[in-house]
Each structure stands twice: as structure tokens, then as C-alpha cells.
Amino acid sequence: MVFSSIPFIFFFLPVFLILYYLVPYKVKNILLLIFSLIFYAWGEPIYILLMIFSSVVDYTNGRMIEKYAQNNQKRKNLFLIISIIVNLSLLGFFKYADFLIGSINSLLNINIPLLELGLPIGISFFTFQTMSYSIDVYRGDVKAEHNFLDFMTYVSMFPQLIAGPIVRYEEVSKELKNRSITAQGFADGMIRFLQGLFKKVLIANNIGYLFVIASSMPNNEMSVVMSWLGILAYTFQIYFDFSGYSDMAIGMGKMLGFTYPENFNHPYISKSITEFWRRWHISLSSFFKDYVYIPLGGSRVKKIINVRNILIVWMLTGLWHGASWNFVLWGLYYGVLLLLEKFVFNKILEKTPNWFKHFYTMFLVVIGWMIFAFDDMTILKEYASMMFGVGGVSFINNHALYYLKNYLIIFILAIIFSMPVYKLAKEKLSKVKNTKSVFIISLIIYTVLFIVVVSYLVNDTYNPFLYFRF
């Protein structure tokens, strides 16, 4: 599926919003469902059937779990198991079949043909959402949805369908039936949407292109500094890309009357890996905590079992991101780091100064993104060698100096806006008595930035959404 920002921003979104605000309240969910299906079918309409199938399965399972909740525990368990098996089978078949076949081929030195299936966009998100719904009904945390159109609307809502945040049914169940749609909500949502758009287009796209250059540069032209510039660019690209999309999703939700969960809380200001994962992709961390870690026993078990639980969660977290060994390595990398912080380094970190804790955290995060970025293990090894000067690579050369000079300003902007500067500015402006002047200045700033964004979208062909492939 190929997503294009230009038709989405200039055609799809305005048409949808006009219709959404014009139609009667009782028709809004139907309109949202129709446009969500159109949005999902933009590139590969065949995969709509997959999402509808997943929705039918979990809608039915939810009803059956509710039906047998009081008088037949075995059947209640059966329908939960069906939900889990169907969802994980869909995810496993489309996302991991070729990974498994390729691993078997390498291990046994055989040549089983790969299936080469296209990965349905957002399958990792909507299968987790529908499966979590069945689990929550089973636990009694939510009541089963009896209106299939409302349930399908929840599953397919286009603002967060293809790259999150992961929205649980309990978080929007009341708003599916009765939500407040106001001018203030629209204004707040539009501002949040534009903030995400600016992060994505003006920072992520621009700084991300440096990583493309560095990762494709011949080894004899590379240097230690150039390799670090490349992976630092990727570090900022993936944050501004993913958090920018989350901001756009949350903003769109506000415009429609929904409150989606926050997904990022300035993770690059963290002073430990533990804190980083409380701030990064919050909805995914929360999902694995509630549906894997705690059911396994969490931390209220023997230390060795707790270690096992953490490693399982992080291996699954790595695999969730992609069907490649580098993602498994990335997940276990963070699992080991979290174990070290929990059982070895915690008291030492408490005594170290904040600047060191921040440096330590960001150094390890950057190394983590290096592992994450390359799904070819040979290329990963080569790039890691260049970063640490192994193999006779020069420390710095003319290429590195050229790109450092040309990308210095965007790096400075990325550093500034990865910190909570907007929150601080908002607090300062809230104390200004002349609200009319603040409004006019803000309007001018957002208008200028939007014009700049439009010019980039029209002229720039490099506009990836990194998390669409997960």
C-alpha cells in the first residue's frame, strides 16, 4: 500500500471533515467507517477483506464470551483461545512466514520458495486492537459491543489505523456511542495535527535523507564521523516520523470527538533506559505489560522467573516490529539493558549526575537504533564496525565535514524540538494577558509553517512513513 500525503491532506481529509460536520450525529459513525475503508484501500483494496475478517472474528468472539461468561467457563475460554489463535495466525502468516522459511533454508541449507506476500499496512496495530478487545471482554473490563458497525468503526478508524497509537476498545467505547464534537475540540485537534505534520515533513524527512546518504555510501568513502552522523540522523528521523504521525492521529481524533492515548512523552530527555521505554511508544509498552508481562507473573515472582518474563516481553517486542533477526537482537538488547538497570546498575545510576545519566541513555539508544535500522546482518556488522573505527576506517573526511556543515542547523532544530519546548512555550503564553495578540502571532506562525510544508510535499519525493512497514 502506498500512502501519499498530498492527496490525503488536500483532498481526502478536507472532504471527509466537511461531510463529517454536516451529517447528522447518528450518521457520523457510518461516514467514518466508509471513509476509513476508502483510506485503507487507497493502495491495496484486497486487504480490506483481511481487516473485515479480523473484525468479524473478534466481534463474534466478544459476543460469545459475554454469552457464556456466567454459565460455561469452558466455552468462554474456547472463544478467547479462538480470538488469540486467529489474530496471531493472521499476523504470523503475513508478517513472519517468509522470515521462518528463510531461517529454515539457512539452517538446513535448503531452498523452500518464499511466499513473498505483501505486508498489509497496519496489521500489527489492528490485530492487537481486536485481540485486546476479546481479552478485555473475557476479563470483564468492558462489555461486548452489540453493534457491528460501531465495532468495525473502532477497528478501522483511519486516523490511527496504520501506525497507531494502539487504541484499546475501552478507551473509545463511550465515545463511539456519545462524543462531544465542538469548535474548541476541532481547533485543538487541528493544532495538534499541524504540529505532527511539521515534525514529520520539516524535520523527519529532511534529517532522514542524511541517513539514506550515509547508509548507501561506499565503505571507502565512509568515516567514523560520517557513520555517526548517519545513525544520529536516523535516531531523530524515527522519533519525529513516528511521534509526528501519532500527533496527527491524536489531533484527527480530537477533531472527530475521540480522545486517543498519548504515545510519546519526549523520550530523548530520559535519564535511563527504563525511563526511555516509559516515554517511547507508550501504547505498545502498555499492551505488552498488560497482556503479556503481568499474565506471566510480572515482577511478583522469583527473580529468575522475572528475568524470563522480561526477556520474553522484549523478544516479542522486537519481533512485533519486524520479521528479521536484527529486530530480535534489538528486542533482546533492550531486555538485557533493562535487566541490568533493574538488578545491577540501579543504585549506581541513582548516584551519578544527571548529565551522565542522559549521555549514557542516549548513547545506548543510538546504538539500539543502529541495530534497528539494518535488517541485513552483514550490513549491520559493517556499519557498526565503521562507527567504532574498526577495520582502518578514517575518523573524519571531506564527506563528513560537508554533510556536518550542511545538516548542522537541522540537527540543532531536531535537538531543540525533541525537548518539551512547545509545552514550555504554551505555559508561558497562557500567562500573557493580551490573548488576541497571542492568537494572531500563533496564526501567522502556523500559516507560514503550513505553506513551507506544502512546498516540501509538492517538491520533495522523499516522504516515507517509517512505521507503516511495522
Catalytic sites, residue numbers:
321
Cis peptide upstream of residue 14 (ω within 30 degrees of 0)? no
- Secondary structure class of 453 (helix, strand, coil): helix
| 243 φ/ψ angles, rounded to the nearest 5 degrees | -70, -30
Task: Please state, in angstroms and rounded to a whole number, the distance separating the CA atoms of residues 338 and 364.
Answer: 11
Count of beta carbons in the 10 Å neighbourhood of residue 312:
16
Greatest extent of the chain over all pairs of C-alpha atoms, in Å: 75
Task: Please state, in angstroms and rounded to a whole number, the distance separating the CA atoms of residues 130 and 321.
Answer: 18
**Contact (Cβ atoms closer than 8 angstroms) between residue 61 and residue 78:** no
Count CA within 13 A, CB hemisphere, residue 426.
Answer: 7
**Contact (Cβ atoms closer than 8 angstroms) between residue 264 and residue 192:** no
Count CA within 13 A, CB hemisphere, residue 37.
Answer: 15
**Contact (Cβ atoms closer than 8 angstroms) between residue 207 and residue 414:** yes
Give whole-number Cα distances, 410 to 143, 208, 446, 466, in Å: 48, 10, 19, 19
